Structure formats: structure tokens, C-alpha cells
């Protein structure tokens, strides 16, 4: 089979199934996995697909909006399951950090409805507004340069304020994991640097994310797998990724447990 014919069949399978795997394609076409990876890279350069760990998905199926404020209504139930699992980690008297994350908005709602007495620092306006409904909470905004796309504060002043605190726990959003570099990713340096500051100032740090984000990555690596205490998700990823995370000593906590 000619190269262009193979790539056309890969595209056809993508349109039919929404996702392809390197290993399965290599077996189907009787070529090496490296050969398939080159095919997927070429198709990604053409805009036909989005490569993910172990394969690819159609570009139109890529779920992440560039602005956080536009992601509020995506996968709400998944976010709620992850948030409920994260809430179980909290104890009264703690000082915690909630960064820019639509899943953390769900966690903030659980905190606001609870009887916990917490000090909560956040750089997201939505989270601050949700928490302000509970007078038992001490709610602190970082301030800094305001970014409308995240409805929150980022940049040097936000980082400086974050670094003034010592957090018992930090809960951080994530746009995906780059398993090649074993790194958590987000959409830009401004957000990534704030997340990194929170990690450095926290005793326990958890990435809170939907299951599907295990199969995507974005453009800025803000931490590596061994920088965090664990990953909290709505449902566990497939066995291959679980084994890889276990090999890197990453604890997984699922909302379905």
C-alpha cells in the first residue's frame, strides 16, 4: 500500500470511530509503530487530527476551549464527580489553594455548602464569588493582572501573592498530560507559572481533572508527574496509563471509587 493510501485510510477510520491507536494501526497495515507515528504527525500538520498519547483523535473532537470561561458547561457531571472526590480530602482548619479551573468551581460549591472552616486562597473570580456565600470561610483573592479569558488573576503579582502563603493542600486544574515528558500541561505560561508557584508552596498538591484529559496535552508544561501528590479524576484511565502512572509513583483517586 502506498503512503498516501494508508494515510487516507487512517483518516477514514478516524471519521468512523473518532479515535485511532498507534499499536492497532501498525498491526492493521503491517508497518512499524514508528511509521504510524510519522503518519499521524503528518496528518496533524495538515490539521486532520490531534495526536494524543498512544494515538490520535479528530481535530473537531478536541474538547478544550482556549478560554476557561467557555468551558464551564462542558462535562459537568464528570467535573462534579472529581470535585466530590477532592472534597473528601479536606479538613477544617486548613489553608488551601484553588487555582483557575472549572472543576475547582464545582469543588468551591461543595466547600461553600459545607460546615468546614477553611482559609481558601484563589486567583479565580468565580471561585471567590462562590465561596463568599459562606461566612465561616476566610476567602482571599490573589489580585494581579486580570485576564478575562479565565476570569481571574495571573502574572507576576499573582505569583508574588501566592508565594506569601504556606498551603496544606493545593488543587490545580490541567488541560492534559504530555506522557512523553511526563508533564502536566496548560494553555499558557501565565497560568502555568501560577500553578507552579502553588505547587512549590503546598504540602500536598493534587491535579484535579476529567478522565479524557489523560489523552490530551497542551502547550505549556507546568509540572512533572513526580511534583504532585496525586491526580483526582472522575474515572480511571485505561490500564496502560494506570501502569505508567504507577511506575512513576503517582497516586490516582477516582470519583467512581
What's the distance, CA 49 to chain centroid? 20
What does the pLDDT read at residue 61? 47
**Residue 127: pLDDT above 60?**
yes
Dihedral sign (CA 244, 249, 255, 257): positive
The count of domains in the chain is: 2
Residues 113 and 206 in one domain: yes
- Looking at residues 200-223, what average pLDDT do you find? 91
**Residue 143: pLDDT above 90?**
yes
The residue from 44, 61, 78 where one domain ends is 61
Residues 54 and 74 in one domain: no
| Domain with 37 in it | 3-61
**Residue 142: pLDDT above 60?**
yes
Residues 150 and 180 in one domain: yes
Beta carbons within 8 Å of 238's beta carbon, 6+ residues apart? none
Question: Are the C-beta atoms of 202 and 168 separated by less than 8 Å?
Answer: yes
What does the pLDDT read at residue 62? 46
Q: Which residue has the cell 479565565?
A: 150
Residues 16 and 111 in one domain: no
Res. 245 pLDDT band, cuts 50 70 90: very high
What does the pLDDT read at residue 78? 93
What does the pLDDT read at residue 221? 94
- Looking at residues 95-123, what average pLDDT do you find? 97
The residue from 42, 61, 80 where one domain ends is 61
Ranges 76-80, 178-182, 210-214, most confident: 76-80
- Nearest 5°: the CA angle 63, 65, 56 is 35
What does the pLDDT read at residue 20? 87
Res. 169 pLDDT band, cuts 50 70 90: very high
Residues 51 and 128 in one domain: no
pLDDT digits (tens, 9 = 90+) for 40-64: 989 988 887 888 778 887 765 444 4
Averaged pLDDT score across all residues of the chain: 90
Question: Are the C-beta atoms of 37 and 55 separated by less than 8 Å?
Answer: no
Amino acid at each position: 500500500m502506498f503512503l498516501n493510501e494508508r494515510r487516507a485510510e487512517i483518516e477514514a477510520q478516524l471519521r468512523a470511530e473518532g479515535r485511532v491507536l498507534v499499536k492497532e494501526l501498525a498491526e492493521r497495515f503491517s508497518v512499524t509503530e514508528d511509521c504510524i507515528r510519522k503518519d499521524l504527525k503528518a496528518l496533524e500538520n495538515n490539521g486532520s487530527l490531534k495526536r494524543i498519547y498512544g494515538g490520535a483523535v479528530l481535530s473537531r473532537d478536541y474538547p478544550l476551549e482556549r478560554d476557561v470561561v467557555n468551558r464551564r458547561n462542558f462535562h459537568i457531571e464528570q467535573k462534579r464527580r472529581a470535585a466530590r472526590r477532592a472534597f473528601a480530602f479536606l479538613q477544617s482548619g486548613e489553608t488551601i489553594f484553588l487555582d483557575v479551573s472549572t472543576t475547582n468551581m464545582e469543588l468551591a460549591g461543595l466547600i461553600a455548602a459545607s460546615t468546614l472552616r477553611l482559609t481558601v486562597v484563589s486567583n479565580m473570580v468565580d471561585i471567590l464569588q462562590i465561596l463568599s456565600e459562606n461566612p465561616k470561610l476566610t476567602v482571599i483573592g490573589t489580585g494581579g493582572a486580570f485576564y478575562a479569558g479565565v476570569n481571574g488573576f495571573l502574572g507576576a503579582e499573582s505569583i508574588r501573592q501566592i508565594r506569601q502563603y504556606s498551603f496544606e493542600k493545593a488543587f490545580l486544574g490541567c488541560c492534559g498530560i504530555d506522557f512523553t515528558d511526563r508533564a502536566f500541561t496548560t494553555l499558557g505560561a501565565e497560568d502555568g507559572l501560577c500553578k507552579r508557584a502553588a505547587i512549590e508552596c503546598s504540602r500536598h498538591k493534587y491535579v484535579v481533572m476529567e478522565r479524557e484529559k489523560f489523552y490530551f496535552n497542551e502547550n505549556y508544561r507546568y509540572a512533572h508527574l513526580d511534583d504532585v501528590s496525586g491526580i483526582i479524576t472522575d474515572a480511571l484511565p485505561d490500564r496502560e496509563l494506570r501502569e505508567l502512572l504507577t511506575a512513576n509513583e503517582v497516586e490516582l483517586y477516582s470519583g467512581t471509587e
